[in-house]
C-alpha cells in the first residue's frame, strides 16, 4: 500500500503543541501538507498555526482533550470542514509519571491511562471510521516502552504496552475487512522533548530520560515516511533496538539493571514542577519541540534511516565495500615496475 505524496495530504496531529507532535506538524507543513493541530493548549496551538500560515502553509487548530471521545470527534469534524477530510491521522498526545507505582495516586494513574491509552483508542477509532471510505494512514506513537518496562515509569510502560496490543489488533481487523488503511506503530527511544519537564513527578529529583537520546525531528521523519510508505512498526533509535533485543535475549539480566535505570532517570537538581501537565496544560511550557535534556543528544539514527530506506542503505554499504576494496588492493603497476 502506498499513499499520496505529503504535498497532497491533510494530516491530523494530536499532541501538536510540543515535542514530537509539534515537530511532525511543522515538518508536514514544510512538505506542503495541510495540517490539523490538536492539543489542550489553545494559546500555543494558535501561535503554531499562525507560524505555519505565515510561512505559506495551511493549518487549523482545535483545542481538545484526547481522553474525551467527543473532543476527538470534534477534531475530525474540523478537518472535514476545513479541508474536506484527512489522509493521515497521527496519535502523538501522551504524558508520563515518574515515581514508584505504590506511591502514585489512583487519580494520577487513571488520568495517565485516559490520555495515553484512551486518547490513542479514541483517535484511532474516529480516524478509521473516516479513512475506511477514502483510504489513508493511521500512525500511533508508542515507545520502546511498548516492548520494555521501566521502573519509576511503570504506568507509562503499561499504557504503551496496551497501545501496541490495541494497534496490532486493529490492524488485523482492518485487514480482515480489506479496508484501505495502513496502521503503523512508531516506537521512539528516549527523545529530547519537554516530556520529563511536563511529567507528574513523585521523585525527590528532577526527572530526565535515560540515554541514548535522539532528536524529535528523527521521530517526525519516521512518522511522515509512514504516511506515504506504510510500515508495520518503526523503532526510532538504534539504542532502543539494542535494548529490546537484549531484553528478549536475556530478560532476567535486564531486570537486574533496574537500579541503573532508576539512576539514569534522576538529575541532581530538586523537582521544578512536580504537578506537571498531567491534569491541566501549562500554557507557558508549550510550543517547544526540544526539552532541556542534559548530556549528548544524537542528531540522527543510522539504524532507523537504514530500516526506512533499506535499498539505499544496502547501496551505501556496497559502495563503501567497493571503495575499501580499491584502496586495499595491491598496486599491480608498481609490482610490474619493481626491479629484480
What's the total number of domains in the chain?
1
pLDDT given at position 329: 54
Q: Is residue 316 part of a domain?
A: no
Average pLDDT, integer, range 223-240? 96
Average pLDDT, integer, range 180-196? 97
Q: Is residue 55 part of a domain?
A: yes
Tell me the helix, strand and coil percentages in the chain, rounded to 5.
50, 15, 35
Q: Is residue 262 part of a domain?
A: yes
Active-site residue identified among 156, 202, 214, 303: 156
Residue 81: pLDDT band with limits 50, 70, 90 = very high
pLDDT of 84 > 90? The answer is yes
pLDDT given at position 328: 52
Which tens digit of pLDDT belongs to each residue from 279-333? 999 876 678 999 998 888 988 889 999 999 876 545 434 443 554 454 455 555 4
pLDDT given at position 286: 75
pLDDT given at position 331: 54
Q: Is residue 226 part of a domain?
A: yes
pLDDT of 216 > 80? The answer is yes
Determine the structural domain holding residue 224 and report its residue range: 6-310
Catalytic site includes residue 156: yes
pLDDT of 261 > 90? The answer is yes
Q: Is residue 326 part of a domain?
A: no
Least confident of 145-159, 194-208, 318-332: 318-332
Least confident of 6-10, 113-117, 124-128, 280-284: 280-284
Q: Is residue 206 part of a domain?
A: yes
Neighbours of 22 (CB within 10 A): 28
Give me the CATH number covering residue 211: 3.40.50.720
Are 202 and 196 in contact by the 8 Å Cβ rule? The answer is no
Neighbours of 206 (CB within 10 A): 21
Average pLDDT, integer, range 167-192? 97
pLDDT given at position 293: 86
What is the value of pTM for the model shown? 0.90
- Tell me the H-state helices in 6-113: 19-30, 42-54, 69-83, 106-113
Q: Is residue 327 part of a domain?
A: no
What percent of the chain stands above pLDDT 70? 91
What cell was used for 190?
Answer: 528516549
Instruction: Give 269: exposed, middle or buried? Use CB within 10 Å, 0-12, 13-18, 19+.
Output: exposed
pLDDT given at position 140: 98
pLDDT given at position 287: 86
Amino acid at each position: 500500500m502506498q499513499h499520496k505524496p505529503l504535498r497532497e495530504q491533510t494530516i491530523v496531529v494530536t499532541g501538536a503543541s510540543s515535542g514530537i507532535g509539534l515537530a511532525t506538524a511543522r515538518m508536514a507543513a514544510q512538505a506542503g501538507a495541510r495540517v490539523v493541530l490538536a492539543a489542550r493548549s489553545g494559546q500555543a496551538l494558535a501561535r503554531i498555526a499562525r507560524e505555519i500560515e505565515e510561512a505559506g502553509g495551511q493549518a487549523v487548530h482545535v483545542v481538545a482533550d484526547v481522553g474525551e471521545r467527543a473532543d476527538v470527534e470534534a477534531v475530525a469534524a474540523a478537518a472535514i470542514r476545513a479541508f474536506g477530510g484527512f489522509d493521515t491521522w497521527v496519535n502523538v498526545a501522551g504524558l508520563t509519571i515518574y515515581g514508584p507505582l505504590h506511591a502514585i495516586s489512583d487519580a494520577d494513574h487513571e488520568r495517565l491511562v485516559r490520555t495515553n491509552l484512551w486518547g490513542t483508542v479514541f483517535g484511532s477509532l474516529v480516524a478509521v471510521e473516516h479513512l475506511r471510505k477514502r483510504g489513508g494512514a493511521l500512525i500511533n506513537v508508542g515507545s520502546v516502552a511498548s516492548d520494555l518496562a521501566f521502573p519509576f515509569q511503570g504506568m507509562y510502560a503499561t499504557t504503551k504496552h496496551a497501545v501496541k496490543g490495541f494497534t496490532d489488533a486493529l490492524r488485523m481487523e482492518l485487514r480482515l475487512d480489506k479496508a484501505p488503511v495502513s496502521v503503523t506503530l512508531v516506537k521512539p527511544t528516549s527523545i529530547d522533548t519537554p516530556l520529563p519537564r511536563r511529567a507528574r513527578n513523585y521523585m525527590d529529583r528532577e526527572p530526565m530520560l535515560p540515554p541514548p537520546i535522539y532528536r524529535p525531528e528523527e521521530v517526525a521523519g519516521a512518522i511522515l515516511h509512514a504516511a506515504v510508505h506504510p510500515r508495520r512498526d518503526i523503532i526510532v533509535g538504534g539504542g532502543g533496538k539494542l535494548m529490546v533485543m537484549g531484553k528478549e535475549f536475556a530478560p532476567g539480566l535486564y531486570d537486574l539493571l533496574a537500579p541503573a535505570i532508576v539512576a539514569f532517570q534522576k538529575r541532581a537538581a530538586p523537582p521544578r514542577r512536580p504537578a506537571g501537565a498531567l491534569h491541566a496544560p501549562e500554557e507557558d511550557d508549550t510550543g517547544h519541540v526540544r526539552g532541556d535534556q542534559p548530556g549528548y543528544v544524537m542528531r540522527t539514527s543510522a539504524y532507523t534511516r537504514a530500516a526506512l530506506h533499506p535499498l539505499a542503505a544496502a547501496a551505501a554499504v556496497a559502495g563503501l565495500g567497493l571503495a575499501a576494496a580499491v584502496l586495499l588492493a595491491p598496486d599491480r603497476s608498481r609490482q610490474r615496475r619493481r626491479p629484480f
